């Protein structure tokens, strides 16, 4: 029973690991025994996290790279191949939502910027990870989507377009890669307190408007997404693929 939630000696790669949800996912996976390759653009924060994980007996490897760059991610996956020869878990968590404004106030630059990180980055990573996930035999991908990937959210239309695509991409890939022993799932968090949402959490009116939608009357914490990631990646979820798990305090329940 307790081993069903362990990832001892498994190799995991987490994007967007320096802050927020990805930081928490990296900590929880390392605690569960995984060797965690942590990717984001800010090397200093990754090294700090590496030290923190090591102080608790875990193993983590910081790799500074931009997920929007196929070249930079190519170097990361090459390193994984040389170092481990396989990958058991890919967590596509890096994402951006830089604007909170009406669709007609956005422009093509916003569209290109968000697609490059939230979608094209995932595309590269899945493509590059495929031989390594296949080599591991019993492996999985967890894509961090959003409730914006299943319902419409005002003032983040372009962001929701990327997350909606990510949710259906997850399901399509699950059907294609099941024969290779690769499960592909997604998480759809609601409002989680991180740098990404600090603009809303720090504005009393927007905070109240948002809390009105949430039956649990509080925002989520990064570790509440991280534990769901661990479940999806662990042997406990061995028959789960093509699933999008909602973690939103009840936001989408009504």
Ligand X SMILES: NC(=O)c1ccc[n+]([C@@H]2O[C@H](COP(=O)([O-])OP(=O)(O)OC[C@H]3O[C@@H](n4cnc5c(N)ncnc54)[C@H](OP(=O)(O)O)[C@@H]3O)[C@@H](O)[C@H]2O)c1
Binding positions for ligand X, rule: CB under 6 A: 15-22, 40-42, 45, 66-68, 93-97, 117, 144, 146, 189, 191-192, 194-197
- Helices 20-31 & 43-55 angle (0-180, nearest 10): 30
Q: How far is the CB of 148 from ligand X (least distance, A)?
A: 7
Distance from the Cα of residue 71 to its chain's centroid: 20
Q: How far is the CB of 158 from ligand X (least distance, A)?
A: 12
How long is the chain?
Answer: 254
**Alpha helices (runs of H) in 137-243, residue ranges in sequence order:** 157-177, 198-201, 204-212, 222-233
Nearer to ligand X, 9 or 198 (CB): 198
Q: How far is the CB of 58 from ligand X (least distance, A)?
A: 18
| 36 conformational bin, left if phi > 0, alpha if psi -120 to 50, beta if neither | beta
For 80, the token pair is: 């994984």
Q: Are 93 and 24 in contact (CB under 8 A)?
A: no
Nearer to ligand X, 8 or 109 (CB): 109
CA torsion through residues 152, 126, 57, 4, sign: positive
Q: How far is the CB of 36 from ligand X (least distance, A)?
A: 13
Nearer to ligand X, 138 or 209 (CB): 209
212 is catalytic: no
Which residue of the set 100, 127, 159, 227 is catalytic?
A: 159
Nearer to ligand X, 125 or 234 (CB): 125
- Helices 157-177 & 108-115 angle (0-180, nearest 10): 30
Nearer to ligand X, 96 or 135 (CB): 96
Measured between alpha carbons, how far is 191 from 75 in angstroms, rounded to an integer?
33
- Helices 20-31 & 222-233 angle (0-180, nearest 10): 50
Q: How far is the CB of 9 from ligand X (least distance, A)?
A: 25
Nearest one of 103, 93, 92, 95 to 158, comparing CA atoms: 103
Query: Does residue 190 sit in helix, strand or coil?
Result: coil
Active centre residues (catalytic): 159
């Amino acid at each position: 029973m307790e081993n069903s939630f362990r990832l001892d000696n498994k190799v995991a790669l987490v994007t967007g690991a320096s802050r927020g949800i990805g930081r928490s996912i990296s900590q929880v996976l390392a605690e569960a025994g995984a060797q965690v390759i942590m990717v984001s653009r800010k090397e200093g924060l990754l090294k700090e996290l590496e030290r923190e994980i090591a102080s608790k007996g875990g193993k983590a490897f910081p790799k500074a790279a931009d997920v929007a760059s196929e070249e930079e991610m190519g170097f990361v996956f090459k390193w994984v191949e040389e170092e481990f020869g396989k990958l058991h878990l890919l967590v596509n968590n890096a994402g951006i939502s830089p604007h909170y404004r009406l669709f007609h106030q956005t422009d093509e630059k916003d569209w290109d910027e968000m697609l490059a990180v939230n979608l094209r980055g995932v595309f590269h990573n899945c493509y590059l990870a495929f031989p390594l996930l296949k080599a591991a035999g019993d492996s999985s991908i967890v894509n961090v989507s959003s409730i914006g990937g299943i319902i419409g959210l005002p003032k983040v239309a372009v962001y929701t377009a990327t997350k909606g695509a990510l949710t259906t991409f997850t399901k399509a890939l699950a059907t294609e890669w099941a024969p290779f022993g690769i499960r592909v799932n997604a998480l759809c968090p609601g409002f989680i307190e991180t740098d990404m949402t600090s603009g809303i959490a720090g504005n009393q009116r927007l905070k109240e408007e948002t809390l009105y939608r949430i039956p649990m009357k509080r925002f989520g914490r990064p570790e509440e997404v991280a534990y769901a990631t661990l479940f999806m990646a662990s042997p406990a979820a061995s028959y789960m693929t093509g699933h999008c798990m909602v973690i939103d305090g009840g936001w989408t329940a009504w």
